[in-house]
Chain A
Amino acid sequence: MASSSSSSSQGYEIPWVEKFRPTKVADIVGNEDAVSRLQVIAQDGNMPNLILAGPPGTGKTTSILALAHELLGPNYKEAVLELNASDDRGIDVVRNKIKMFAQKKVTLPPGRHKVIILDEADSMTSGAQQALRRTMEIYSNSTRFALACNTSAKIIEPIQSRCALVRFSRLSDQEILGRLMIVVDAEKVPYVPEGLEAIIFTADGDMRQALNNLQATFTGFRFVNQENVFKVCDQPHPLHVKNMVRNVLEGKFDDACSGLKQLYDLGYSPTDIITTLFRIIKNYDMAEFLKLEFMKETGFAHMRICDGVGSYLQLCGLLSKLSLACLTAKAA
């Protein structure tokens, strides 16, 4: 299960992301397919070279670290080399450091190999990746590689060819909720269900974000409800935006605009408003044509905002285009 569950509120408090990070592969939430296979590797050894790809906060680094711990146990310090994007990872370092580590002789139980973990591998230059491929091949008897990245497209093909590619997808709401409940029980956080829902909404499939938001809300307000969550996470309240969308759909353009004005006056940046709007539209149950048109117009508005025109007028323009789409489509 999760590690230490002492809820110390005085002194230095470890971020809950770290405190409740699973140390065993079995405890990892989500992506059962991948995780169950990693479990088997943890028991049997003989890990193939792996690339774990997926959106942030889905458990890639955690999985690799847990796997390395389980595989190597007490030998972890000597038998694992970790390099992430903040380390120097140019070609020379790759060749030298990694090579020297790969050559190092470490006493390990049979069936276990040294592990080199390369986190955020997609930010390695292609020269460094090229240098890596040869090393991977030669030292495959004694050393295995695990790369974590956001998009596998940035990893060059020869390396993709030498590894098994494991994809992690965004966590579902239930999975995040499950873990949140565990943390809430352990830390004795007072909450209401809507508060947890709000946290899940802001997280958007990212466990790390969810835990951080939970901790921030608790530390700031000592009580997790919707209001506090949105105060802390500082996104436009989804219900508010949902009302806006509903008004547009029902044809009440003025109400929608006043809702928008409220949001704008609260100080939210147009990008935030658009992001929330897009998320709401994605999950809103409306007719197919309307959803398509809404998404399209939101995308264009986002484009204009990125170009630099992030004004209230642009957002109103967006709302009006949405209303126009509704009008064209509505039966008389």
Chain B
Amino acid sequence: MGKRTAIVLSSDDDDDNDNDFDFDFSVKPDLNRFNNPKSKSKSKSASVPRSNPKRSKKTRISSSSSNSRSRSHPGKNVNPFDEMKLFCEDFGEGFSGFKVSAGYRRDNKELWLDKYKPCSLVELAVHKKKVEEVKVWFEERICITKDEYCNHVLLITGQPGVGKSATVHTIASHLGAIIYEWNTPTPTIWQEHIHTTNAGLRYLSKLDEFENFVERIRKYGLIPSSLTEEVRKPFIVLIDDLPVINGKLSYGRLQRCLDLLVQSVRIPTVILMTDYGRSDAADYASKCWEELQTSLQKAGACKVAFNPITGNSIVKTLSRICREEKLKITADQIDVIAKTSGGDIRHAITSLQYFNLKSDLKPISKDATYSGKVSHKIDHLDDGYSLPFGRDETLSLFHALGKFLHNKRDTENLPSCDMDSVFLKEDFTRLPMKMDTPERVLGQAHGQARPIADFLQENVLDFLHEEAMDDAWVVASYLSDADTLLTSLNGVLSRNYEAENIIQSTAASVAVRGVMFGNRHPLSSRWHAIRRPLLWQVEQSLWRNKKEMVGERSIAAYNCVNLSELSTIAIEWRPALKWLGSRVSEYNSPRKGSIGGKMVDNNCNMERSNEPCDDDEDDEIEDW
């Protein structure tokens, strides 16, 4: 079996092969990919050279470090080995009663995720436009001579589970291209490290290896093995997993490395990056990713942002799976599952599989016993949706919020038979609530206090009566109390679970009960979309602006001789410079967008959040 030319990619799939592989066909490597008829056309053939781990080991040693698993990918060797594979397969099937490795059997014991992986463009749940965009990009690069285009890097960003790598694989198989994946190599364990340093070899960090890989790719490209005479299939390089970075220095290295890649690589390359767009205040790492994206774009990469998958697409896919698996799940339930996934189709399929285990259990768990002394007739709007699965900010949280905001009450006060009852002034009495105690609802919704307070603050004003200013004041004051209580979470004692628990519960209770108590004249119930807090976007923009200002300060734009405070910059320098803008040509121009203009000018982030709505021409506008 031919010599391998060294270099290029490493793929972790190769590690699938055990070191005890031998040629006597009794061990079946991970044939599932080849067995599954649907995935035959998938070009995950980066996993191919299974039959030659020994040789690969040899080449490994000859490369720079004993740890880097750079092996070549004899993509062209697919075919003769394919035949061998098929042979193994047949042989193996005969042996199925005997030694079977876990997971070899393909009778319904795989994850539905794998089983229903899309293998044609039609099956992708991603929006058609996006798929087209990516496909066109590939076609341009592959089918036409490359010299015309200056950029060969495509950046695909999106939430987890939104179909990024599925799209790339499907399109590649559709176009007949072979994908070479970069996968992070296995790290060194301590003993190995000692051994290699003693042997005099330098330790390579994962970032180093990535840099080496990038160097090789851009200098040498991919060298196909010349074993077969097949028509050369085009290659696509896929970078799925950027190395973990800690701190500014490594971030700088990664950025430079990627910039180099973008500018000088000759093969179509796809980089997949995951967005963490749904968090409250994005932390430092995710902000880094955003910066990285913008710098890559500046360097010349094309960017395609994948949006969360629309509810309808998810429902379609889930229904298809239901049909194929012959499940007895109603359309309502499918709807619910689709909604709880939050635009993440991978999660939706997993949830479906999980849910199906006992599909006759209704997702509705009504609480028949209220903690009050009187029994109420359950209102038909009061669904008691308590979904014990699904990600955060899902249906159950929204249902809980809906209950709090709508604030349904009984129409009359029932006589209290408690001896302890205290008669309150009219101002302070309220009709009994038409739902379970708020604490129980909160417990079922599994919500944390901070997002609940933010959601309530954002939405409560919609539910107040127009004239009820006093109500607004009461509600606002309790929310302010809740915020004060939550701050103590940042203190020293927050490491104590007990204290944290109490703070969380108190703050959540105060916020929720305050909103319910304050809203004395709730509007008659009509359908209100519960919005995500604008506050989160404001905070992100604020963080960005602050960074910008710090940057500006260092350009000495404001004061040649000494540093100003940030607040002074905001309050005095910037407004003044706006007026004097024409005269200070030697300084950077002041920021565009004036106070009093539309919000959209300043918060470019807002537009990003509006995208999912805008892109769905075929599907309805969803309110996540």
Q: What residues of chain A have their CB less than 8 Å away from a CB belonging to chain B?
A: 31, 33-34, 36-37, 40-41, 44-46, 48-50, 53, 56, 79, 91-92, 95-96, 99, 103, 105-108, 110-114, 126-127, 130-131, 134, 138, 140-144, 151-153, 156-158, 160-170, 246, 249-250, 271, 274-275, 278, 282-283, 285-292, 295-296, 298-300, 302-303, 306-307, 326, 328-332
7 A-B pairs with least C-beta separation: A141-B103, A299-B506, A161-B161, A161-B160, A40-B357, A164-B354, A111-B109
Q: Are A134 and B110 in contact (CB under 8 A)?
A: no
Q: Are B15 and A292 in contact (CB under 8 A)?
A: no
Q: Chain A residues with Cβ under 8 A from B425's Cβ?
A: 329-332
Among candidates A95, A113, A329, residue contacting B187 with C-beta atoms closer than 8 Å: A95
Q: Chain A residues with Cβ under 8 A from B516's Cβ?
A: 288
Q: Are B159 and A285 in contact (CB under 8 A)?
A: no
CA distance in complex: A75, B491 (Å): 47
Q: Are A306 and B353 in contact (CB under 8 A)?
A: no
Q: Are B424 and A289 in contact (CB under 8 A)?
A: yes
- The smallest beta-carbon distance between A315 and chain B, in angstroms, is 15
Among candidates B101, B361, B513, residue contacting A295 with C-beta atoms closer than 8 Å: B513
B297 at the interface (CB under 8 A from A): no
A-B contact pairs, 21 of them (CB 8 A): A34-B388, A48-B353, A105-B101, A110-B100, A127-B246, A131-B244, A157-B274, A161-B159, A161-B160, A161-B346, A161-B347, A167-B446, A282-B439, A282-B505, A295-B513, A296-B478, A296-B510, A300-B485, A303-B484, A306-B488, A329-B424
CA distance in complex: A167, B388 (Å): 5
CB nearest neighbor in A for B275:
A157
CA distance in complex: A87, B132 (Å): 47
User: Which B residues from 313 to 346 make CB contacts under 8 A with A?
Assistant: 344, 346
Q: Are A113 and B488 in contact (CB under 8 A)?
A: no
Q: Are A142 and B109 in contact (CB under 8 A)?
A: no
CB nearest neighbor in B for A275:
B502
Q: Chain A residues with Cβ under 8 A from B503's Cβ?
A: 299, 302-303, 306
Q: Are B365 and A33 in contact (CB under 8 A)?
A: yes
Among candidates B32, B110, B187, residue contacting A96 with C-beta atoms closer than 8 Å: B187
Q: Are B389 and A167 in contact (CB under 8 A)?
A: yes
User: Which B residues from 432 to 458 make CB contacts under 8 A with A?
Assistant: 433, 439, 443-444, 446, 448
CB nearest neighbor in B for A106:
B102
Q: Are A292 and B187 in contact (CB under 8 A)?
A: no
B16 at the interface (CB under 8 A from A): yes
- The smallest beta-carbon distance between B145 and chain A, in angstroms, is 35
Q: Chain A residues with Cβ under 8 A from B264's Cβ?
A: none
Q: Are A288 and B186 in contact (CB under 8 A)?
A: no
CB nearest neighbor in A for B344:
A161
- The smallest beta-carbon distance between A175 and chain B, in angstroms, is 13
- The smallest beta-carbon distance between A59 and chain B, in angstroms, is 13
B565 at the interface (CB under 8 A from A): no
Q: Are B358 and A157 in contact (CB under 8 A)?
A: no
Q: Chain A residues with Cβ under 8 A from B604's Cβ?
A: none
- The stretch of B1-9, B415-423, B462-470, B540-548 that contacts the partner chain: B415-423
Q: Are B114 and A292 in contact (CB under 8 A)?
A: no
Q: Chain A residues with Cβ under 8 A from B216's Cβ?
A: none
Q: Chain A residues with Cβ under 8 A from B188's Cβ?
A: 92
Q: Chain A residues with Cβ under 8 A from B358's Cβ?
A: 33, 36-37, 40
Q: Are B418 and A285 in contact (CB under 8 A)?
A: yes
Q: Are A152 and B391 in contact (CB under 8 A)?
A: yes
Q: Are B108 and A46 in contact (CB under 8 A)?
A: yes
User: Which B residues from 386 to 439 make CB contacts under 8 A with A?
Assistant: 388-392, 418, 420-430, 433, 439
Q: Are B513 and A110 in contact (CB under 8 A)?
A: no
Q: Are B102 and A142 in contact (CB under 8 A)?
A: yes
- The smallest beta-carbon distance between B138 and chain A, in angstroms, is 23
- The smallest beta-carbon distance between B108 and chain A, in angstroms, is 7
CA distance in complex: A18, B160 (Å): 39
Q: Are B344 and A298 in contact (CB under 8 A)?
A: no
Q: Are B361 and A330 in contact (CB under 8 A)?
A: no
Among candidates B18, B108, B499, residue contacting A103 with C-beta atoms closer than 8 Å: B18
CA distance in complex: A131, B100 (Å): 28
Given contacts A95-B187, A130-B244, A300-B485, is CB(A169)–CB(B428) below 8 Å?
Answer: no
CA distance in complex: A91, B114 (Å): 26
Q: Are B346 and A95 in contact (CB under 8 A)?
A: no
- The smallest beta-carbon distance between B18 and chain A, in angstroms, is 6
Q: Are B160 and A329 in contact (CB under 8 A)?
A: no
B118 at the interface (CB under 8 A from A): no
Q: Are A249 and B485 in contact (CB under 8 A)?
A: no
CB nearest neighbor in A for B159:
A157
B13 at the interface (CB under 8 A from A): yes
B111 at the interface (CB under 8 A from A): yes
Q: Chain B residues with Cβ under 8 A from A298's Cβ?
A: 506
Q: Are B505 and A165 in contact (CB under 8 A)?
A: no
Q: Chain B residues with Cβ under 8 A from A46's Cβ?
A: 108-111, 353
- The smallest beta-carbon distance between A199 and chain B, in angstroms, is 18
Given contacts A153-B392, A306-B491, is CB(A36)–CB(B361) below 8 Å?
Answer: yes
Among candidates B101, B421, B499, residue contacting A142 with C-beta atoms closer than 8 Å: B101
Q: Chain B residues with Cβ under 8 A from A283's Cβ?
A: 371
B24 at the interface (CB under 8 A from A): no
Q: Are A113 and B103 in contact (CB under 8 A)?
A: yes
- The smallest beta-carbon distance between A145 and chain B, in angstroms, is 11
CA distance in complex: A4, B389 (Å): 34
- The smallest beta-carbon distance between A229 and chain B, in angstroms, is 19
Given contacts A110-B105, A141-B114, is CB(A331)–CB(B424) below 8 Å?
Answer: yes
- The smallest beta-carbon distance between B466 and chain A, in angstroms, is 24
CA distance in complex: A46, B102 (Å): 11
- The smallest beta-carbon distance between B286 and chain A, in angstroms, is 10
- The smallest beta-carbon distance between B96 and chain A, in angstroms, is 9
CA distance in complex: A34, B285 (Å): 34
Q: Chain A residues with Cβ under 8 A from B514's Cβ?
A: 292, 296
Q: Which of B103, B160, B355, B514 has the most CB of A within 10 A?
A: B103
- The smallest beta-carbon distance between B147 and chain A, in angstroms, is 35
Q: Are A157 and B109 in contact (CB under 8 A)?
A: no
Q: Are B499 and A151 in contact (CB under 8 A)?
A: no
CB nearest neighbor in B for A164:
B354
CA distance in complex: A289, B391 (Å): 33
Q: Are A134 and B241 in contact (CB under 8 A)?
A: yes
- The smallest beta-carbon distance between A89 and chain B, in angstroms, is 13
CB nearest neighbor in A for B27:
A105
Q: Chain B residues with Cβ under 8 A from A162's Cβ?
A: 113, 160-161, 346-347, 350
Q: Chain A residues with Cβ under 8 A from B113's Cβ?
A: 140, 162
User: Which B residues from 232 to 250 make CB contacts under 8 A with A?
Assistant: 240-241, 244, 246
CA distance in complex: A288, B105 (Å): 60
B535 at the interface (CB under 8 A from A): no
Given contacts A152-B391, A170-B443, A329-B424, is CB(A48)–CB(B114) below 8 Å?
Answer: no
CA distance in complex: A277, B585 (Å): 66
Q: Are B506 and A295 in contact (CB under 8 A)?
A: yes
Q: Are B278 and A157 in contact (CB under 8 A)?
A: yes
Given contacts A134-B183, A275-B502, A299-B506, is CB(A169)–CB(B443) below 8 Å?
Answer: yes
Q: Chain B residues with Cβ under 8 A from A144's Cβ?
A: 111
CA distance in complex: A163, B107 (Å): 21
Given contacts A141-B30, A141-B114, A160-B391, is CB(A91)–CB(B160) below 8 Å?
Answer: no
- The smallest beta-carbon distance between B428 and chain A, in angstroms, is 4
Q: Are B354 and A48 in contact (CB under 8 A)?
A: yes
CA distance in complex: A95, B491 (Å): 34
CB nearest neighbor in A for B188:
A92
Q: Are A166 and B388 in contact (CB under 8 A)?
A: yes
Among candidates B102, B427, B506, residue contacting A113 with C-beta atoms closer than 8 Å: B102
Q: Chain A residues with Cβ under 8 A from B433's Cβ?
A: 288
Q: Are A326 and B422 in contact (CB under 8 A)?
A: yes
- The smallest beta-carbon distance between A213 and chain B, in angstroms, is 16
Among candidates B112, B361, B420, B499, residue contacting A306 with C-beta atoms closer than 8 Å: B499
Q: Are A92 and B478 in contact (CB under 8 A)?
A: no
Q: Which of B114, B353, B478 has the most CB of A within 10 A?
A: B353
Q: Chain B residues with Cβ under 8 A from A306's Cβ?
A: 488, 491, 493, 499, 503
CA distance in complex: A31, B241 (Å): 37
Q: Chain B residues with Cβ under 8 A from A285's Cβ?
A: 373, 418, 420
